[in-house]
Amino acid sequence: MHMPSPNTVAPAQGLYQPDEFKDNCGFGLIAHMKGQASHHLVETAIHSLSCMTHRGGIAADGKTGDGCGLLLAMPKAFFREEAKKLSDKTLSEVFAVGTVFLNLDPAIAAHSKQVLAKEIESEGLTVLAWRVVPTNVEALGEIALQSMPAFAQIIVNCPMGVTEVEFNRKLFLARRRAEQLLSNDSSFYVTTLCSTVISYKGLMMPAAIADFYTDLADPRLASHIVVFHQRFSTNTLPRWPLAQPFRYLAHNGEINTITANRNWALARVPKLENPLLPGLTELNPIVNLTGSDSSSMDNMLEILVGGGMDLFRGLRMLVPPAWQNVETLDADLRAFYEFNSKHMEAWDGPAGLVIQDGRHAICMLDRNGLRPARWVITKNDYITLASEIGVWDYKPEDVVSKGRVGPGQILVADTLTGKVLDTKDVSNHLKNMRPYREWLRDHAIRLQANPQLEEQLLDQGLTGDKLKAAQKMFMVTFEERDQILRPIAESGQEAVGSMGDDTPMAVLSRQVRHVSDYFRQQFAQVTNPPIDPLRESIVMSLETCLGREQNVFEQGPEHADRIIISSPVLSNSKMQQLRDVEKEREGYGVVDIDLNYAEAEGLQAAIARICEETAQAVRDGKTLIVLTDKNFREGFLPANSALATGAVHHHLIKTGLRTDANILVETGFARDPHQFAVLLGFGATAVYPYLAYDVINDLVAKGELLGDPIHAQANFRKGIEKGLLKVLSKMGISTVASYRGGQVFEAVGLSSEVVDKCFLGVPSRI
């Protein structure tokens, strides 16, 4: 009989979306700085976790929690003794233990165990034994008991001649293949499978974790690092696999850019060839596409480190500090962050992270420092890092030093050397890994404003009847000219209004509306504060880079060969410079994709044609794809640039071409910050609003706008950029690189047919 799965995600229903996970948590770690394992440290960690009960949710039965857990540096002596009871074979010097959640149906569980063991053995490794994890169900509440899986631990020997690092890579690949083969069994979940750490987690209350997992109460179980986590699920039903810590980290916060991060992870798969992880590109998706945002980050960190990347580089790539606007930042360190920003966008949002790999105990905060993290070192050589002070009862006179982890900072306890590394130590290590500053100086192209070229291009805009036709075609009303474009071109900021927005929703309007009007911006909520784009501008950036992405596992001077622009809102001169760049530098081929279509062709066929033309252009080596509706003419209609951008973005992801191209949108449909935000949110790299410039020129020519047109256009860009920062900050996102492709909107009134083709993954509840 098939038993109901404890891991099954409830399907979308009504207003509920299965990929909308919010939680707020307590977290921490305790480590012995000299690497001395003890059961006392495990007991102290359990006590500390119990002190965070107030940080988690409690079900009506009073015994079921939202999830808590421990990630221990491998208790090797304990498992050596346990292995002797299970097998006559001797454990090798290096071995692994993995904890597995299984279906309660014995037949299904047996099949899952068989598949996992087979994949492990296909890597040339030996499965020594399976161990039943001793548990006490009386420690669980009724609700947790109803969803409880079966538990087993697999013990794997490392063969002679295989290093521990190679051993763990083989285990990773075997586990991922098993997960793919068992994707229909939602019960199957491997909490950890490696030689360095092991996880115990579930839906019990923190004080009951050692009562449920009796291993944790065994005096023989000793460890020198323990990460602990208490979850509070704010809008989803708790599930056993969602309890933290995951395989590397425990996370308190919200990754606001998770949709963008997941989409870009999919897009980068073709670039992830790595001899250390053979077959990685076939293990798609490489990160969880639904469920916990923290687990997706853990997936990505696991891949980066497994592929040979330095752990600290991987962490700083995922969660970098604010660096773009910090004038006092060391030049070499700035170059490190700039170089690595070309490989991956930040996983942005409020975040407190504790991480361990069996050697390092690490805590780091996001660039805004929106989660608390305090540390204390005591005379017994314990370092305690937690979301609050006083998680266990040490005496004040035993405190050697204490402090807090600040915004964008990192603190590391290296239990092999006994040293504590602060942000400066880690930064010195990272900036000296490669000559990043020289690579960027010699290979990066920094596109600058060109006033002379701007003057030359002034006369090439639309005027007269052609401009009138364009305004009619792209729905530029007199009201928009007077109340949106003119004020922003005058002052460099949006017009000030009052009394909210009483415009009818586009789906209910009797007028033809812009596609962007069918989208509502999401905003930071639950435990997730927005950012003040005025007072906290130092942490925000609109910097955009163009060019082909390279393999993230490799570092070389050619990886710095990118075009860097300060904003995704392009001026006339910068757009022309981008069109001309292929004359000076190989690898930056430009192609125009016409968005205009004949009435007989129809919009749906036109979108399909645009997608295929774009894909073929990228296959032919073009890098800068200009989606343009500028060539509108009689008998043709412009496909809305938002529809085309979203469709092309997802088509290139599906065809494995997205990271080889940049989408530049040359459009008459972008005239206010929301319209720009929609284009960027659905994958545009940069936007050239030619019609907005031409309307501004016309306003100046007619005397409706004072000043010269170049200054007015600069004001327009300034106002749009301010508006974009406001949109980003409202969602708690700091950089446009992390916002791009993030789709942080809700569609109101778009059919599933349109959403699935052009805006895949966006919720549309009406």
Q: Which two tokens stand for residue 520?
A: 């509502």
Cβ pair 368, 350 in contact under 8 A: yes
Widest pairwise Cα distance in the chain: 93
What is the average pLDDT across 82-105? 95
Residue 23: pLDDT over 50: no
How far apart (Å, rounded) are the C-alpha atoms in residues 27 and 47? 13
Q: Which two tokens stand for residue 112?
A: 């899952």
What pLDDT score was predicted for residue 480?
92
For the chain, which residues make up each domain, given as ranges?
76-195, 463-495+523-536+568-730
pLDDT tens digits for 431-458? 999 999 999 999 999 999 999 999 999 9
What is the average pLDDT across 579-593? 93
**Cβ partners under 8 Å of residue 608, min gap 6:** none
Compute the C-alpha angle 42/44/48, nearest 5°. 115
Mean pLDDT, all residues of the chain? 92
Percent of the chain with pLDDT over 70: 95
Q: Is 25 known to be catalytic?
A: yes
Residue 118: pLDDT over 60: yes
What pLDDT score was predicted for residue 13?
52
How far apart (Å, rounded) are the C-alpha atoms in residues 357 and 354? 11
Exposure pattern of 131-144 as b/e (b: 16+ CB <10 Å)?
bebebeeebbbebb
What pLDDT score was predicted for residue 527?
60
What pLDDT score was predicted for residue 11?
53
Cβ pair 368, 734 in contact under 8 A: yes
How far apart (Å, rounded) are the C-alpha atoms in residues 206 and 78? 23
What pLDDT score was predicted for residue 566?
96
pLDDT tens digits for 671-688? 999 999 999 999 999 999
Q: What would the DSSP string read from start to end of 685-735? A: SEEE-HHHHHHHHHHHHTTSS-S-HHHHHHHHHHHHHHHHHHHHHHTT--B
Q: How many CA atoms lie within 13 A of 385 on its CB side?
A: 30
Cβ pair 490, 704 in contact under 8 A: no
How far apart (Å, rounded) are the C-alpha atoms in residues 31 and 500? 53
Helix (H) or strand (E) holding 299: helix 293-306
What pLDDT score was predicted for residue 59?
78
Which of 172, 196, 200, 193 is CA-nearest to residue 71? Answer: 200
Cβ pair 524, 530 in contact under 8 A: yes
pLDDT tens digits for 707-755? 899 999 999 999 999 999 999 999 999 999 999 999 999 989 899 899 9
Which of 388, 392, 385 is CA-nearest to residue 409? Answer: 385
What pLDDT score was predicted for residue 3?
38
Q: How confident is the model at residue 18 (pLDDT cuts 50, 70, 90)?
A: very low
How far apart (Å, rounded) are the C-alpha atoms in residues 559 and 582? 18
pLDDT tens digits for 402-422? 999 999 999 999 999 999 999
What pLDDT score was predicted for residue 21?
47
pLDDT tens digits for 491-505? 999 888 776 667 778
Helix (H) or strand (E) holding 627: strand 622-628
How far apart (Å, rounded) are the C-alpha atoms in residues 99 and 150? 11
Q: Between 61 and 235, name the one with better pLDDT.
A: 61
Cβ neighbours of 47 (radius 10 Å): 17
Angle between helices 293-306 and 164-181 (to 10 degrees): 140
Compute the C-alpha angle 284/286/288, nearest 5°. 110
Query: 13: burial class by Cβ within 10 Å (0-12, 13-18, 19+)?
Result: exposed
Helix (H) or strand (E) holding 194: strand 189-194
CATH of 76-195, one of 3.30.70.260, 1.10.8.100, 3.90.1200.10, 3.40.640.10: 3.30.70.260
- Return the amino acid letter for 291: G
How far apart (Å, rounded) are the C-alpha atoms in residues 27 and 372? 10
Q: Lowest mean pLDDT of 85-89, 151-155, 163-167, name the range.
A: 85-89
β-bridge pairing 662-666 and 622-628? parallel
Q: How confident is the model at residue 1 (pLDDT cuts 50, 70, 90)?
A: very low
Q: How many CA atoms lie within 13 A of 551 on its CB side?
A: 15
What pLDDT score was predicted for residue 235?
57
How far apart (Å, rounded) are the C-alpha atoms in residues 387 and 381? 20
pLDDT tens digits for 506-530? 777 778 888 998 898 887 766 667 7
Residue 319: pLDDT over 50: yes
What is the average pLDDT across 218-236? 89
3-state SS class at 494: coil
What is the average pLDDT across 473-480? 93
Q: Between 765 and 534, name the one with better pLDDT.
A: 534
Residue 16: pLDDT over 50: no
Which of 124, 70, 125 is CA-nearest to residue 96? Answer: 125
CATH fold of 463-495+523-536+568-730, please? TIM Barrel (3.20.20)
What pLDDT score was predicted for residue 5?
45
Cβ pair 189, 182 in contact under 8 A: no
Residue 340: pLDDT over 90: yes
Q: What are phi and psi of 215, to 5 degrees?
A: -55, -40
What is the average pLDDT across 172-200? 96
pLDDT tens digits for 255-293? 999 999 999 999 999 999 999 999 998 898 999 988 789
Residue 390: pLDDT over 90: no
Cβ pair 727, 740 in contact under 8 A: no
Ranges 19-23, 270-274, 388-392, 608-612, most confident? 608-612
25, 68, 545, 611: the catalytic one is 25
Which of 590, 587, 591, 578 is CA-nearest to residue 558? Answer: 587
DSSP state at residue 483 = I
Which residues are paired to 503 by β-bridges?
Answer: none
